[in-house]
Amino acid sequence: MTPPAQMTAEQIAPEPKTGARLVVESLLAHGADTVFGYPGGAIMPVYDAIPGSGLKHILCRHEQACAFAAAAVGRMTRKAGVCLATSGPGATNLVTGIADAFMDSVPMVAITGQVAQPVMGTDAFQEIDTFGITMPIVKHSYVVRDPADIPAVIAEAFEIAESGRPGPVVIDIPKDVQQTAVEATMVPRPPKPKPPLDEEALRRAEAAVQSAERPLFYLGGGIMRAGAVDEVRALVERSNIPAVCTLQGLGVLPTGHPQLLGMLGMHGSKAANIAVMDCDLLIVVGARFDDRATGKLDTFAPKARVVHFDRDAAEISKLRHADVAVPCKIKPVLADFRPEAGPIDPWRAQCQQWVADNPVPYDAPGDGIYAPALLKQLSEQAGEKFVGVADVGQHQMWVAQHCNFSRPQAHITSGGLGSMGFGLPTALGAKVAEPDSIVVNVSGDGGIMMNIQELATLRRYNIPLKVIVLNNSRLGMVRQWQELFFDGNFSEVDLTDNPDFAEVAKAFGVDSFTITKRDEVAGAIDKFLAAEGPILMHVVIDPSENVWPLVPPGKSNADMMEGADDDY
């Protein structure tokens, strides 16, 4: 027998490795050095392969939090975050986070254990059809039957999750597949196809801009997903055309940019909504005409032709006919898009006048804490390192309306699904992805209770996240709608039996404090930002405070309410 030292590379067979070991090595090979997970029986072989592998594992305290935290990595880096869960309830607990990533086009790979193949289909303990349950909320999904396929499946999963219109991918791996040893090698990602560009459509888009008298950019979250922020900023500034943005498009142009009229839609700025109603050309980039942005669709931008750039051709003309459709990979195409606007100085002046005529007031009466003013002051003081991660509710809109965002990643929100409980675990994942940023989770007293157990995760890993709980002792947004649209019939929105959140945080080992008066805000922000470890600031606010402006459901964006006494 030839001694090992004299064997050639061709004579050395790959060392057999279990499917579980191949999972771990494949994740590391594709740059996923951190995963968020929760162990259980059907995923236990993978957990057996993690120690000593170099793969960092963060144990969240609920699988839903694992999915939100993993998706946060995708939101911050545009690279797929990874979560692990066992079969049955472990997999079903991931579903909300997977759906949230799907709705917001966030790259994520979710790996779930499954019962062994011989008992699949027998209603075995913790058996669930993960493939079938998640099919409507993923870009793609797999059930791995042969451990030798694992490197190729994981390589393909990352490519699918991150390419085109990003989204989540689920890989379901039976326990026996994880345990079986095979000879296999790592597999590179499949090559990225280059989508063809319709040059004629690009020229027609340029001609549409040149002939418009009142053109307006409509900027969405697809810009950040495409990594095209620099190209869009250059295009907007080169063209001198005013712009509005969606909830997910906040930060594409930094807050305060002279051409930015604000966020449009249900809780958008008055200037942005007026401009959309009056423009004669909408240049839509990476947006999908979401109902919360458009209001009553058949009244949206009634005078405008539409030029629509989007990576997902299915979104173009889905809700609003595009006069010029440009399905494309946004980043390289916008670099080649050279519109020359006509004489639009009167239009630009009119847009700026609408902004000047509709300033945001911060001088609320009384000595109580006015949440919009606190959030504005906090983001300004934190500066360009500020990353605001909102939960869902009134505070979500206050964050969008009043915080300063230097880039799209500075504003993380559950846009499409509107998932309460999103804030704390997502902020946790964002801080892991960007440890040098000042990541602030803004939650309400309703949303924080849905994943409050993640305070234990902060303490376990000493993740220096900053958490604000705006406590109005209500399900605030539901209460507001019941007040305005259900004759004040307040049903199941009273949360006055909430615990003392500062004391809860202390019980988890997280530093905390409470403020109730406006004159405490300045010192509280200083203390909050100076904290070196995780900290929670419990802020008591007026339970009757509403979010303004507001477009009532089913109404045109022209019908904005600015107070409870407005007619609707």
* CA–CA distance, 121 with 509 (Å, rounded to integer): 44
* CA–CA distance, 232 with 481 (Å, rounded to integer): 36
If phi > 0 it is left, if psi is from -120 to 50 it is alpha, else beta; for residue 195 that is beta
If phi > 0 it is left, if psi is from -120 to 50 it is alpha, else beta; for residue 404 that is beta
Work out whether strand 386-390 and strand 281-285 pair parallel, antiparallel, or are unpaired.
Answer: unpaired
Instruction: Residue 52: count other Cβ atoms within 10 Å of its Cβ.
Output: 7
Identify the three-state secondary structure at position 542.
coil
Extended strands (E) in 19-167: 34-37, 56-59, 81-85, 108-114, 140-143
* CA–CA distance, 429 with 395 (Å, rounded to integer): 20
Say which DSSP state 563 is in. S
Q: What is the DSSP string of 322-357?
A: -SEEEES-HHHHHHT------S-HHHHHHHHHHHHH
Tell me if 533 sits within 8 A of 464, measured CB to CB. Answer: yes
Task: List active site positions.
Answer: 63, 125-126, 175, 477
Whether the upstream peptide bond of residue 553 has omega within 30° of 0, thus cis, is no
Task: Give me the phi and psi of 265, to 5 degrees please.
Answer: 105, -160
* CA–CA distance, 184 with 482 (Å, rounded to integer): 59
Q: CB-hemisphere CA count at 13 Å for 367?
A: 5
Instruction: Residue 303: count other Cβ atoms within 10 Å of its Cβ.
Output: 12
* CA–CA distance, 149 with 244 (Å, rounded to integer): 46
* Nearest to 557, CA basis, from 549, 565, 545: 549
Q: Which residues contact 111 (CB under 8 A, 6 or more apart)?
A: 23, 43, 46, 82, 83, 84, 85, 170, 171, 173
Tell me if 263 sits within 8 A of 292, measured CB to CB. Answer: no
Residue 401 amino acid letter: Q
**Sheet (strand 411-412) strand order:** 411-412, 386-390, 438-444, 466-471, 535-540, 511-515
Residue 229 vs residues 165, 222, 410: alpha-carbon distances, Å? 16, 10, 13
Tell me if 465 sits within 8 A of 387, measured CB to CB. Answer: no
Place of tokens 């793969």: 55
Identify the three-state secondary structure at position 253.
coil
Residue 30 vs residues 176, 186, 374, 460: alpha-carbon distances, Å? 24, 10, 41, 27
Extended strands (E) in 330-437: 386-390, 411-412
